[in-house]
Amino acid sequence: MNDIKYNTLNTRIRTYESQLFDRTRYERMLNAQSAEEIYGMLQETVYGDFINEDDRVHDFEQVLTAELKRVYENMYRLAPDRRIIDYFALKYDYQNLKVLVKASYMQADFSSFLVPIGTQPLAVLKELVATRKSNQVASEMVACIEEVYSYIENYHEVQSIDIIFDNHYWAHLWALGKDYEDEVLQKLIKRQIDIFNISTVLRSYAMKRKRGFISAVLADNGSLPAEELLTEITTSLEAFVAYLQNTPYKVLINASYEELIEKKTLNTFDLRKDNFLMGKLKEQKIVPFGPAALIGYLYAKEIESKNLRILLIGKINKVPEEILRSRVRDSYE
């Protein structure tokens, strides 16, 4: 979509991109002797607006959240169409709904787990959970809450409701992408669904889950049919790996196969999938029209927040530098 209405915003985004952390800055942080040293470096950046002199490094999460919240609020204010920002913010709605439902069921205060980011104010989500209806949110979200409570009333537990939330989230995300009709956005959503499904299949395999469970958790609307993924993994892991050799995701499975077999973990996959999507979005940086620049910037900001979390937690826990370096995602440069 050669959409000129994004021209003014795209000019601004080039300025915002210059504030993103590059590999050089990450290297300085990797070389830091302590988490406190990294925290000091953050004070010299946009994150410094949310750091007070008496703050402790262990309070870093509220700083990262505050900066991300500012970015979302700014983009909502500037973007000519809020649906692009909704695409990124929607996951926080569903994350918050999970927290609210579990808090209600367990009669506990989980407010510290709520995130002040999303397509809807927290007050609207709280009302939805309390009444199970709303005319302010999408019908998919209402249907999600109805199904969640139906499950709880039938089975009297909340351990499995994440599956219901995830299914509705992916369906909601795809509906949003179809409605917007932008090729960059739709390709990104399909890739994310594919990667979610591949990751889900591999984790299910490692946990020795049955076919019925895997079928229930796979999302529709990816470029790789969920039924084909299910057929291959229930044949064998080797068949599944062979199937992916003819897809763009062979680099992800080839890098992760050995780790999965030996350690039953997917740390390499998680790193590679973030870098895979980052690489695809970097290819769109030169597109002068439409929302490609906005999409790339918001994804890069999310990855930046993840990287800073990895670095700070790692330094707090004295994780060796080389291990931390292997976990830091690619920067948007």
* Sequence letter at residue 36: E
Q: How far apart are CA 330 and CA 311, in angstroms?
A: 13
146, 160: one domain: yes
CATH code for the domain of 36: 1.10.132.50
What is the number of structural domains in the chain?
3
What is residue 47's DSSP assignment? G
Does residue 90 lie within any of the structural domains? yes
For the chain, the residue count is: 333
- DSSP codes, 153-165: HHH---TTHHHHH
197, 263: one domain: yes
Half-sphere exposure of 6 (CA within 13 A, CB side): 21
CATH code for the domain of 151: 1.20.1690
Does residue 295 lie within any of the structural domains? no
Give the model's pLDDT for residue 30.
97
Q: How far apart are CA 96 and CA 147, in angstroms?
A: 16
217, 206: one domain: yes
- Residue finishing a domain among 138, 154, 181: 181
Does residue 6 lie within any of the structural domains? yes
Q: Given CA atoms 314, 303, 328, 214 in this order, what sign does their dihedral have?
A: positive
8, 60: one domain: yes
Does residue 294 lie within any of the structural domains? no
310, 271: one domain: no
Domain that holds residue 271: 183-289
56, 120: one domain: no
Give the model's pLDDT for residue 4.
82
Integer-rounded Cα radius of gyration of the chain: 21
Does residue 315 lie within any of the structural domains? yes
Residue 188 C-alpha from the chain's centroid = 12
Q: How far apart are CA 80 and CA 85, in angstroms?
A: 10
Q: Contact at 8 Å (CB) between 173 and 83? A: no
94, 135: one domain: yes
139, 166: one domain: yes
Q: How far apart are CA 243 and CA 232, in angstroms?
A: 7
174, 247: one domain: no
Q: Contact at 8 Å (CB) between 316 and 61? A: no
Residue 212 C-alpha from the chain's centroid = 26
The angle formed by the CA atoms of residues 217, 273 and 282, to the nearest 5 degrees, is 130
319, 272: one domain: no
Give the model's pLDDT for residue 184.
87
Other beta carbons within 10 angstroms of residue 192's beta carbon come to 19
- Residue finishing a domain among 181, 204, 236: 181
Q: How far apart are CA 38 and CA 324, in angstroms?
A: 13
Beta strands in the chain (DSSP E): none
8, 70: one domain: yes
**306 CB-near residues (< 8 Å, 6+ apart):** 274, 329
Does residue 107 lie within any of the structural domains? yes
Q: Contact at 8 Å (CB) between 198 and 244? A: yes
Listed residue (96, 86, 95) closest to 176, CA to CA = 86
Q: Which residue stretches of the chain have pLDDT < 50?
A: 1-2
259, 197: one domain: yes
**59 CB-near residues (< 8 Å, 6+ apart):** none
Listed residue (102, 98, 143, 136) closest to 119, CA to CA = 136
Q: How far apart are CA 1 and CA 186, in angstroms?
A: 12
Does residue 296 lie within any of the structural domains? no
